Structure 1
């Protein structure tokens, strides 16, 4: 879709919230809990990251960046913020790190189209910039539209962007957002988290690290996330079925949003074997058919070889 008035402007990201970690051990503490390298996160970068259970299943996903001195900020799904904050706080123990809900203090806005591009000249994906308006983080493009997250108040001169259009762009970017409906449903690679830079396989241990590493190197990954359109309303947590196997789900919707032309666009984690033939359907084997679209990055359909 071309960049036009419908995909240009600013929107309050009400479905996102912010966890703030402060203290001398904030980066070190989060480095030991999340899938990404937080200890060496530079002030000019942001990074996607996951928070896994001991079984390697994602309990939350984040965009992480440095705030003030000894401060790390984590943007996550608003409907998961409270339980995620509680889970993370259980592991702080003696670390000099205080965690709190900073959503009211740190507003998040989405910028799309020219509103984003004009603030991103020369910026690479996941770069972090300080501007007079606040911190600007470049997000992956979607449907040919530039996107950014603005940490600060909305610029008054920009047109308002429809929240559903922003959610549609989020889905089209292929960046998964773990929500309450999908907690502990996915190992990071099932939703392509490592393909967008959200898993560091060289860092030290974190909860679920052995499971995540085994999925990467021992040929145990049988499912991946793909982008689909469907002529129906869809939402996170809806099951996906294959036409040849009506008795059990072939996948699960990770994220969904209303599509501009009607119906929905969605990111669904599905069995790789289900892509070989037949068709995928929403809700049941005779439900609305899923039409696969190209993600903005390549998804390997074969197992990676051991490093």
Structure 2
């Protein structure tokens, strides 16, 4: 294992950038860059208020074009991914889904996934703007393993559901998953229960694109079709980060609470960056975490990768925006990775020492007391 970065530097600044308020994307960063660089995803426009209301008080579905899908097939698919990702894929059963990360040798996240089995295939749901680069990089390490990676984004569709949606989903699936990250399969694809957000149930349906799209019109009688930006906001309110191109290689998994969310298995074997990730966990060097916040602004001005500044030390950044999405009551809700000391007291501002002030909100889960 190449562990060239010690635990002290892991606990230090997530950014490493001292100029500009937005960290450049990773399209040109070494082996992660695909042959034809994909630009970072453009911010989604602010949803209509009715879209939020449908998810919060009635029921809504959202076609999710901000994701890509990688299928990994072959006799060694599970073993290969087990050696590459932060979570256990060898014991991933047919009724479960799991979060997982993909790190550099220095423990920095290149991608975050939701993983599950579909027959003999292991499926990886990933941010669309890093999908091609991550697939290319993973493919470099297949070597003699009997595993083949394929871009399934063109043949599959992903749809998110939030709110009072169980009756509508029962017209598509004979049974519904009853716990978070429980999965059921049916003739029209897989249905996964994902963490609740804003007190509302959420489900993810991934299936053959033509089949899914043919069945969506029938749901319109029961549910409101909402923009994908509502799903981004719900993910943020669930406290679940997503690694997109603007923040590639910025965070060790614990910095974005992946250990709390079950995205890291500390008992599994070696994977890229495993020494750094384990050292941070067991030597008490986790000095940064991800929090939930709101700030004045619009999605096009509050971007992932934007640095944060604390009033007590305005000369250097104290953190960075991980994800951002328009909030129903105004401004932008964000997941922000920060020094724990900066969260304890004082004012934190976006982009510069005199930028808009952040208002912090409670996460829907507890962080470790010894963090």
Q: TM-score, normalised by structure 2?
A: 0.78
Once the two structures are superposed, residues 192-217 of structure 1 have per-residue CA deviations (whole angstroms, 9 ceiling, x without a partner) of: 01111100001111000010000101
2:199 maps to which residue? 144
- Gap runs ≥5 in structure 1: none
Give the Å deviation of 1:300: 2.5
- RCO higher in structure (CA 8 A, sep ≥6): 2
Is the contact between residue 13 and residue 108 of structure 1 (CA under 8 Å) also seen in structure 2? yes
1:83 maps to which residue? 133
Give the Å deviation of 1:131: 3.1
Any idea what SS the aligned residue of 1:157 has?
Answer: helix
Q: What is the aligned counterpart of 2:70 among 10, 19, 22?
A: 19
RMSD over aligned Cα, in angstroms?
Answer: 1.7
Question: Which deviates more from structure 2 when the two are superposed, residues 9-18 or residues 265-274?
Answer: 9-18
2:291 maps to which residue? 226
| 2:332 is the counterpart of 1:282 | no
Structure 1 residues 227, 249: closer, same or farther in 2, change over 3 A? same
1:157 maps to which residue? 218
Q: How does 1:291-306 map to 2 (within 5 A)?
A: 291-303=359-371
Is the contact between residue 6 and residue 162 of structure 1 (CA under 8 Å) also seen in structure 2? no
Give the Å deviation of 1:122: 6.0
Q: Partners in 1 of 2:143 and 2:187 — Cα distance?
A: 37
Q: What is the aligned counterpart of 1:106 among 128, 147, 156?
A: 156
Once the two structures are superposed, residues 133-166 of structure 1 have per-residue CA deviations (whole angstroms, 9 ceiling, x without a partner) of: 4210111011111111101215323320222222
Give the Å deviation of 1:121: 5.3
Q: What is the aligned counterpart of 2:269 among 204, 207, 228?
A: 204
Question: Which deviates more from structure 2 when the two are superposed, residues 50-59 or residues 110-119?
Answer: 110-119
Give the Å deviation of 1:68: 2.3
Q: TM-score, normalised by structure 1?
A: 0.94
Once the two structures are superposed, residues 53-99 of structure 1 have per-residue CA deviations (whole angstroms, 9 ceiling, x without a partner) of: 00000000000000122x10000000000110111011000000010
Is the contact between residue 176 and residue 191 of structure 2 (CA under 8 Å) also seen in structure 1? no
1:268 maps to which residue? 336
Once the two structures are superposed, residues 155-180 of structure 1 have per-residue CA deviations (whole angstroms, 9 ceiling, x without a partner) of: 32332022222211111111110000
Any idea what SS the aligned residue of 1:203 has?
Answer: coil
Structure 1 residues 264, 128: closer, same or farther in 2, change over 3 A? same
Q: Partners in 2 of 1:14 and 1:167 — Cα distance?
A: 11
Give the Å deviation of 1:6: 4.4
1:52 maps to which residue? 103
- Gap runs ≥5 in structure 2: 1-51, 170-174
